[in-house]
Structure 1
Amino acid sequence: MQLGRLLEQPALILLQGDLGAGKSVLARGIARGLGVDPRTPITSPTFTLMNHYAARLDLYHFDLYRLSSPEELIELGFDDFAFGQGVALVEWPERLNNHEIPGLWIVLEHLGEDSRKIILTARGEVAMQLFDRLREAWNG
């Protein structure tokens, strides 16, 4: 939730991790931090590819797990959302076959029932600014 609260400008956040690693749970927290109405269910768009949530910064939540071809993303207008005026949150970004996309990359590793290892990588100026705000918030 803290990450969502720290977002002040459009951003691209890419979530990697195995099934059950916590990507959708993290997505719900980010949505709540952005101000998505608490009565709105935040679900993973596994079959629709994208869900839109109105918030302080609109949230475009992508799940690329079932992506069958890059053409699907072109038809959806992925670039307009990913690099537009809201926050684009992408689960399974490895399906894009481009690990150099500018954004905040978050890798979740499942260590046990209730523990995860989280690795953050910032690519690009906007992601670096967000990373710095996160670090400041976590370090007090």
Structure 2
Amino acid sequence: MITLADAAATQAFGRALAAQVRPGDVIALSGQLGAGKTSIARGLLAALGLEAEAPSPSYAIVQPYDPPEVAFPVLHVDLYRIDDPDEAEELGLEDARGDSLLLVEWPERLPDAWWADALWLTLTIEADGSRGLTARVPAAWKDRWPLQATA
């Protein structure tokens, strides 16, 4: 488990993760409300060139970012309000996998088959207020994981 001391450390982890991502990658961000999923995404997006703070995609469900705003196309997705896996088909996530990075919050709202190749990061809120991060690392990430400790 990686311990992230505070919000700044959580965003720093996202920035470090940005050095490893490629178009076609899927990063699943799991954890309870307030655990830091969006903070990781914000750090990663900032490191890819986004100058403004990335909004949470809670209401839009999919927040796209394209060059020159970021280095390559990114879809920041929040599946919290998805009730039926069939709804996800309409989001075009499968089509975007070829040339975009997918950052997916609340991936557990869809069947595991959607995430077979995803770097699955789970965040927990620890008793001292820090965040614990564990990873399920697919074969495509074996040469890129673990990241250097950032906190």
TM-score normalized with structure 2 length: 0.78
Q: Which has the higher strand share?
A: 1
Shift of 1:10: 2.8
Aligned residue in 2 for 1:84: 98
1:31 is aligned, of 40, 45, 48, to: 45
2:76 is aligned, of 61, 67, 90, to: 61
* 2: CA distance, partners of 1:24 / 1:91: 8
* 2: CA distance, partners of 1:53 / 1:34: 10
Shift of 1:90: 0.3
| 1:70 equivalenced with 2:70 (yes/no) | no
1:138 is aligned, of 121, 135, 149, to: 149
| 1:95 equivalenced with 2:106 (yes/no) | no
Higher relative contact order (CA 8 A, sep 6+): 2
Q: Is the 1:59–1:86 contact (alpha carbons within 8 Å) kept by the matching residues of 2? A: yes
Aligned CA RMSD, in angstroms, stands at 2.0
Shift of 1:112: 4.0
Q: Alpha-carbon deviations, 1:85-140, whole Å to 9, x = none? A: 12100000000121652111100010146401110111232x223325x2xx339x
Unaligned segments of structure 1, at least 5 residues: none
Q: What is the 5 A alignment of 1:9-20?
A: 9-20=23-34
* 1: CA distance, partners of 2:101 / 2:127: 30
Quote the sequence identity (%): 33
Q: Which has the higher helix share?
A: 1
Instruction: Detail structure 1 runs of 4+ shifted over 3 Å in the superposition.
Output: none
* 1: CA distance, partners of 2:43 / 2:75: 14
2:119 is aligned, of 104, 121, 136, to: 104
